[in-house]
Amino acid sequence: MTYRTIFIASLIVTFLISCKAQSNNGSNDNKQELALNENIVNKLSSTNNDISNSRRNAITDAIAICSPAIVGINVTEVRQVVYRNPFFDDPMFRRFFGGNQGSSVREYEVQGLGSGFIISPDGYILSNHHVAGNASKIIVTMTDGTKHEAEIIGSDMVTDVALLKIKGNNLPYLKLGTSNDVIIGEWVIAFGNPFGLFDRNAKPTVTVGVVSNNNINILHQDSPYNRVYKGMIQTDAAISSGNSGGPLVNSLGEVIAMNTIIYSTSQNRQGAGSIGIGFSIPIDRVKKIVELLKSKSQIDRDYYTGIEPRELDEQLARYIGSNLQEGVVVFGMLNNSPAEKSGVKLGDVISEIDGYKILRLEDYLIATGDAVTGQTLNFKVLRDGKEQSVNLKLEQRPRR
């Protein structure tokens, strides 16, 4: 019995005793009331002891349900590097033989690891693009110790989602929940393969925390496309290198997100460690990408707007004669581009794209970064002090 329960129980008993003392004759009604309330106190005490002494709860139940569907992923990726013999950098040699001699492209293999989870009994697996999207070989380890070679069904760099598949039937799989009703402060469980520990005993590592925040947008600049993380769920459940691609699960055992990014102050050869700030892709966003990847295997992101955007600052605001302090200016524009065709003008201040507020250049890159070729985006622009609405259809990027 906790001190709090003892205190409450003693107050109730004291109150009942004092009531009894005020009665001259100690009526049967008072005796029955005293007995009833003492019974309630005893039941509260018993329930409290059951909770505190039990080792099983909603969290442990969810872990038991989900663990069989978690997989460790080991990948082999082939990368290319341009090698140049220093001998051919000699000016005398280059004078007679030209400057392109001695260069060669060499390939080398890189080993990597990450996490994933089975989402169907026939072997579909979710993970991150940065884990498995560019792999030449993928080996998946199940919790029964068996290893399977996986194929890439499709992968999208921009949203960082990869869909894999292994052969099998009646495989354990996770229920995909929803990320629309996530509650700040609710308990969540992160599963994964941090630092390759899954290979030690074929069991996922489990960490528990809460939803710290949600609906966070993050831009990771990369090539050939930026990674656009929209509506991310933040958690303090420990996520470390190797956890990428694992599920974030609520206390009901439903997947609400996929673990993807961590903020870390330390980095070594094995990767980064957790400081309690991790971000996961909301599962509702992942579901949409999965359906596209199943039908197309690759999402066409090779589009352009034709706009040269620039973040508004004090100097630029004076130059265009604007009193605004935040926004993105159309500083340049390609001829015959989607922007020009749509009616966008030089000097327009972009304030909103498809309902997404544009205050900084990063906002513009996020709002336009995860569209698809042929999609139409609605731009709200400020021109001569008035708001204009422009529909801009994204076109295939011209070939050079």
Q: Enumerate the active-site residues.
A: 130, 160, 244
- Distance (Å, rounded) from C-alpha 294 to C-alpha 300? 14
* Helix segments in 159-244, DSSP class H: 198-201
Helix, strand, coil distribution of the chain in percent, nearest 5: 30, 35, 35
Q: How far apart are the first and last CA of the chain?
A: 76
**What letter represents residue 86's amino acid?**
P
User: What would the DSSP string read from start to end of 223-256?
Assistant: SSS-EEEEEEEEE-S---TT-TT-EEEETTSEEE
Cβ burial, residue 143 (10 Å; 0-12/13-18/19+): middle
Contact between residue 389 and residue 380 where contact means Cβ atoms under 8 Å apart: yes
Which two three-digit tokens encode residue 346?
């030089």
Q: Alpha-carbon distance 245 to 190, whole Å? A: 10
* Distance in angstroms (rounded) separating the CA atoms of residues 222 and 248: 25
User: Which residue is it, tokens 């935040």?
Assistant: 326
Q: List Cα–Cα distances, 208 to 65, 136, 235, 239, 333, in angstroms.
A: 15, 33, 9, 10, 49
Omega of the bond leading into 204 within 30 degrees of 0 (cis): no
Comparing C-alpha atoms, which of 250, 249, 236 is closest to residue 279? 236
State how far the Cα of 3 lies from the Cα of 304, in Å rounded to an integer.
Answer: 65
Please report, for residues 108, 182, 236, 398, the alpha-carbon distance to residue 244 in angstroms, rounded to integers and kept in the order given. Answer: 24, 20, 15, 35
Alpha-carbon torsion (190, 196, 197, 203), positive or negative: positive
